[in-house]
Structure 1
Amino acid sequence: MSDANLNAETNAALQNGGTDASAKLQFGVPFFNMQTIFGNLAEQGASRAQANFAQIKSTSEEMTAALCDACSTNAQRAADYRTKVIEISHANTTSTLEFFSQLVDARSFADLVDLSTAHSRKMLETASAQNRELWHLAQRVATETAEPIKQSLDRVLRSAA
């Protein structure tokens, strides 16, 4: 039954002595079942909310896993960095103790100057190499820690778009 048929039947019934004359439709507007209309809208809203909630939950779980991976990687690489710092410290301490033992064995002032110059040159080269190695380790820590987070964010942003 179309709206026009419903309108015509309702107006004809009211004009022919329908039960309630005050229920006459104005401007020929048909009766609508508002409960059905709003009920359908509420169901659609609820289903959308459930779908959005499920997507947010899955995204949250994915981000949590990525953060756990990043923290685990960070802990491993930070341990590597600390180990390298300890190794460097040990090498520098050993070198300094060797230098002191050579200074004790020096026979003249010229020997002291030569030993000091050689040791200073050696320590400068060693420190430069050690700093370069620590810099590469620090970059590795930062890169490997950020990579799982970056990949996860990229996936989340692509799926949201």
Structure 2
Amino acid sequence: MATTTKTAAAAKTDEFVTESFAAADKAAAEAPAPVREIAEKTVKQAKDGYARWKAASEEATDAFEDAYATASKGYKEFGRKSVEATRSNVNAHFDFLQALIGAKSVSQAIELQTSYAQQQFEVVSGQAKELSALAQKAVAEGTKPLQDFAAKAASFAQPK
């Protein structure tokens, strides 16, 4: 739906600009020769400026769409990994509780607790590193289209 709205808005803008330029061309053609030359030059500059602005706007829109799609993919992967990590941790905790219930002595229960704590510390540390790397990757890949566009826009803004 957003693309349809965007396309309809772009079409209306193009129609308005085309009509405006046609009216300007007509007015320039009806003007006296010295004024006509200035008017024609001004209309040409306006047309060129509009064409550059339109191309830059389309590139910006494409960059934002690419950034959204890429970031969305990365965040979905991050979410999937988060759910996997949570499921793994919950299962490990239930396994620990089951083993703890079956402990024959207090010393065995303490040994199970210590072992479980060490094991979970290592597991959670690894999961945190993996999730951090996924988040960094999602951000880097998600912002790449915008960075590329910003570089183009910076060169576009430079006087020629």
Q: What TM-score do you get using the length of structure 2 for normalisation?
A: 0.77
1:113 aligns with 2:86: no
* Structure 1 segments of 4+ aligned residues over 6 angstroms from their partners: none
Structure 1: segments with no counterpart, 5+ residues: 1-33
Residue identity opposite 2:83 in structure 1: I
Q: Deviations over 1:17-69 (max 9, x none)?
A: xxxxxxxxxxxxxxxxx932222111111100000000000111111111111
State the AA in 2 paired with 1:88.
A
Please give the residue correspondences for 1:20-59 in structure 2 after superposition, counting only pairs within 5 Å: 35-59=32-56
Write the deviation string for residues 73-114 of structure 1: whole angstroms up to 9, x where unpaired: 111111100000000011001100110110011000000110
**1:144 partnered with 2:160:** no
**Structure 1 counterpart of 2:98:** 101
- For the aligned residues, what is the CA RMSD? 1.3
Matched, 1:129 2:99: no
Residue in 2 that maps onto 1:154: 151
Count the aligned residue pairs. Answer: 128
What secondary structure is seen at the aligned counterpart in 2 of 1:107? coil
Residue 10 of structure 2 corresponds to: none
- Give TM-score, length-normalised by structure 1: 0.76
Q: Distance in 1 between matches of 2:136 and 2:34?
A: 60
* Unaligned runs of at least 5 residues, structure 2: 1-30
Structure number having the greater helix percentage: 2
